[in-house]
């Protein structure tokens, strides 16, 4: 995978980090960065003086790979405007964290027009925008590719090689299974962290220790983006929230009955699962 | 505050860290470390070769300050056994994270026998025991003193100076207010993290990113200890869990109705609160 030209469309936290990482991993490639707004490109030009930038997607013409950094709701329009500048050989991928709907919308549009596959880099922070982007964001991060029914094996291979060149650990899931698992491991934690911040309130905040800080960190993330993500994967997240609600009921019952054994068992089963996770 | 002799009883994560921090902050003081079990003292002797250790609380005789590292349920028996070795001038404090019940039990026992005040160092990790103890655990950490009705001002002053010497930021709350605030800012996050780990399940764990890791980290903590803490502060925690349950209901309703505005508002209010917290 040695792309002569790479285009990054919509350089937010993830797209911007892709651009920064590409300038290191592929120093000889031409890098084009597109944004809808000219003012969003100023910090990009400052960080990546060799990159070409523009607000016209035609600048992406001739790319070997196009990375779509836009949120899921903006992808279809963006891809339609991009179609005239793609070839059958152009790789196209995105970075949205909901994949079933993206696959359903983009696969038919790109079928026979480019080599499309969805990507979900499991990286980021509670910050957003290009100013939060980091060249090393994908070092050791999981990136999930979500091939659809019409995805060719060489598309999987080439986009895998691209992410691996940025330091990522690439895995594959079909879009539906991706959304099921990510609902539990990413979207549900976000929703619960927000509910926890609200229930914890503000009066004790000056006493907040590392437990509160870590448990609630993601809740500081961009609300509009997360509202879109949660709605995009709502069926799976609702199942997760109902399971959570059941767990909260168990806790309430154990505390009301002062049932130390039930409470310790509840906590211990969680501790066993969490301790099995490597790293911290 | 220059104690000639300091005793630490029950050197777990917190008590052990007090002992380690004291050996740095008060290098000229005599340090005595007591544990119920001889085998728990071996790692203490290794880390603190100059400290005296023993399984008999009489070793604490003549202390200027005694720090009780035992869990709340063990404190009353421990203090009764300690009484013959205290003087009216001895400072006695504990490190338990529930304070109303501790104050209620210990204040009458120590009244007229020593200078007692409860402490709650807001520090720690998901690990436990002396092997997890760190000399710098209290650097910059909040320590809440919980004076009761009979606590003398000089007791507050002297125990404050002790924790400050270990690097802590000392604040004061009465025991009931402490338990109310800590229920929300520490105990509730722990309970919710455990419920979240259980609801998130195990199939997506290989995909866990920093969001899941941070949000659930505390759930790996020692279950028996946390069961005791949650039961010890159950009234306040139940109120918090009911608020959380209400928040989860709001989320479920917004997702079912696909009410983007309500969802974004819910998330945004949480984000505003969390972003107001200094640091990360």
Name the residue facing A231 among B243, B244, B260 (closest C-beta).
B260
What is the least distance, in Å, from the CA of A160 to any CA of chain B? 16
Going along chain B from its start, the domains and CATH numbers come out as 5-173 (3.40.50.720), 178-275 (1.10.3660.10)
Mean predicted confidence (pLDDT) in A87-105 = 96
Name the residue facing B227 among A200, A249, A260 (closest C-beta).
A260
CA nearest A274: which of B213, B190, B227, B210?
A: B213
Structure tokens at B80: 């009764």
Structure tokens at B62: 């003549």
Residues of A in contact with B185 (CB under 8 A): 200, 204-205, 207-209, 212
Q: Is the pLDDT of residue A278 over 90?
A: no
Q: Do the Cβ atoms of A234 and B255 come within 8 Å? A: yes
B262 touches chain A (CB under 8 A): no
Mean predicted confidence (pLDDT) in A87-112 = 97
Name the residue facing B216 among A220, A222, A274 (closest C-beta).
A274
Name the residue facing A237 among B182, B220, B255 (closest C-beta).
B255
Phi-psi category of residue B201: left, alpha or beta, with phi > 0 → left and psi -120 to 50 → alpha = left
Residue B27 φ/ψ, nearest 5 degrees: -60, -20
Q: Testing the interface with A: which of B176, B183, B212 to mutate, by most A Cβ within 10 A?
A: B212
Name the residue facing B263 among A215, A220, A227 (closest C-beta).
A227
What is the least distance, in Å, from the CA of B45 to any CA of chain A? 29
Predicted confidence at residue B198, as pLDDT, reads 97
B217 touches chain A (CB under 8 A): yes
Predicted confidence at residue B126, as pLDDT, reads 73
Determine contact, residues B220/B126, Cβ cutoff 8 Å.
yes
CB atoms within 10 A of CB A228: 21
Residues of A in contact with B221 (CB under 8 A): 271
Q: Is the pLDDT of residue A280 over 60?
A: no
Total-model pTM? 0.84
Element housing A33 (H / E): strand A30-34
Using pLDDT thresholds of 50, 70 and 90, give the confidence band for residue A275.
very high
Name the residue facing A255 among B201, B203, B238 (closest C-beta).
B238
Q: Do the Cβ atoms of A199 and B205 come within 8 Å? A: no
Q: Is the pLDDT of residue A93 over 80?
A: yes
What is the least distance, in Å, from the CA of B92 to any CA of chain A? 23
Mean predicted confidence (pLDDT) in A7-33 = 97
Predicted confidence at residue A210, as pLDDT, reads 86
Q: Count the residues in chain B.
A: 280
**Cα dist from B172 to A74, B169, B250, whole Å:** 51, 10, 35
Strand, coil or helix: what is B116? strand
A184-219 confidence digits (pLDDT tens):
999 999 999 999 999 999 998 988 888 999 999 999
* Dihedral sign from CA coordinates of B208, B210, B216, B220: positive
Partner A, chain B 94-123, Cβ-Cβ below 8 Å: 122-123
Predicted confidence at residue A206, as pLDDT, reads 86
Residue located via tokens 């019940």: B101
Q: Mean pLDDT of all residues in chain B?
A: 95
Report how far residue A163's alpha carbon sits from residue A6's, in angstroms, rounded to the nearest whole number: 13
Predicted confidence at residue B139, as pLDDT, reads 96
Q: Do the Cβ atoms of B184 and A199 come within 8 Å? A: yes
pLDDT under 50 in chain B at which residues?
none
Partner A, chain B 228-257, Cβ-Cβ below 8 Å: 228, 230-231, 234, 237-238, 240-252, 255-256
Partner A, chain B 124-143, Cβ-Cβ below 8 Å: 124-126, 141-142
Q: Mean pLDDT of all residues in chain A?
A: 95
Q: Do the Cβ atoms of B252 and A242 come within 8 Å? A: yes
Predicted confidence at residue B279, as pLDDT, reads 63
A219 touches chain B (CB under 8 A): yes
Among chain B residues, the shortest Cα distance to A204 is held by B181
| ipTM exceeds 0.90 | no
Predicted confidence at residue B59, as pLDDT, reads 98
Interface size, chain A vs chain B, as Cβ–Cβ contacts under 8 Å: 303
What is the least distance, in Å, from the CA of A264 to any CA of chain B? 5
Strand partners, B268: none
**Cα dist from B232 to A21, A31, A255, B239, B243, whole Å:** 50, 59, 10, 14, 19
A22-73 confidence digits (pLDDT tens):
999 999 999 999 999 999 999 999 999 999 999 999 999 999 999 999 999 9
Q: Do the Cβ atoms of A212 and B186 come within 8 Å? A: yes
Q: Do the Cβ atoms of B277 and A208 come within 8 Å? A: yes
Predicted confidence at residue A207, as pLDDT, reads 86
Q: Testing the interface with B: which of A71, A97, A173, A189 to mutate, by most B Cβ within 10 A?
A: A189
């Amino acid at each position: 995978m040695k792309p002569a030209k790479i285009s990054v469309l919509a350089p937010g936290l993830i797209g911007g980090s892709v651009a920064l990482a590409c300038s290191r991993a592929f120093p000889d490639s031409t890098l084009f960065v597109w944004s809808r707004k000219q003012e969003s490109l100023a910090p990009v030009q400052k960080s990546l003086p060799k990159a070409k930038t523009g607000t016209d997607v035609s600048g992406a013409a001739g790319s070997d790979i196009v990375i779509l950094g836009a949120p899921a709701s903006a992808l279809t329009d963006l891809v339609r405007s991009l179609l005239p500048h793609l070839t059958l050989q152009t790789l196209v991928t995105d970075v949205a964290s909901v994949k079933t709907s993206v696959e359903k919308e983009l696969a038919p549009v790109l079928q026979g027009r480019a080599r499309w596959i969805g990507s979900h880099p499991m990286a980021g922070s509670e910050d957003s925008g290009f100013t939060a982007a980091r060249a090393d964001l994908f070092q050791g991060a999981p990136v999930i590719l979500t091939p659809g029914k019409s995805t060719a094996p060489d598309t999987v291979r080439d986009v895998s090689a691209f992410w691996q060149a940025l330091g990522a650990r690439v895995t594959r899931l079909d879009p539906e299974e991706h959304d099921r698992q990510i609902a539990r491991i990413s979207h549900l934690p976000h929703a619960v962290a927000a509910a926890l911040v609200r229930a914890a309130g503000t009066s004790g905040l000056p006493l907040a220790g590392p437990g509160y800080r870590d448990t609630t960190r993601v809740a500081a993330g961009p609300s509009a983006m997360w509202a879109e993500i949660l709605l995009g994967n709502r069926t799976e997240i609702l199942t997760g929230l109902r399971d959570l609600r059941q767990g909260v009921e168990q806790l309430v019952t154990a505390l009301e009955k002062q049932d130390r054994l039930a409470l310790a068992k509840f906590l211990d089963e969680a501790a066993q699962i969490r301790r099995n996770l490597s790293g911290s």
